[in-house]
Amino acid sequence: MEKSLTVSSKGRVEARVLVERGVYTIVEYRDPKTMKVVEKKFKIYLRNDDGVVRGFLMIPLKGGNRYLGIEDRQPKQDLYVYNIDTDSEEPLFK
């Protein structure tokens, strides 16, 4: 267990414990006509190995590279995203 131990900012020794593992998709929000980023917020969707999807809206905080993450209570399951590279819509997870 030694390699999974870490020290918190308060000096406590803590163990990093696996909760679940899977794949992710990150989406940003753009104007559909100009394709310019509307806001600096983005969303991270996580899908675990059992197929359960969790969504987190990441909102930038003042002062730089910090974000507030807000979890969706029940993210929609049939979401599509626009892929700029292929100029087509595709499912959130392939």
SS3 of residue 24 by DSSP: strand
Q: Which of the 8 DSSP states describes residue 16? A: -
Q: State pTM to two decimals.
A: 0.81
Q: What is the pLDDT of residue 63?
A: 82
pLDDT in tens, 33-84: 999 998 889 999 999 999 889 999 999 999 878 999 999 988 777 899 999 9
Q: What is the pLDDT of residue 31?
A: 93
**66 pairs with which residues across the strands?**
none
pLDDT for 29 beyond 90:
yes
Q: What is the pLDDT of residue 86?
A: 94
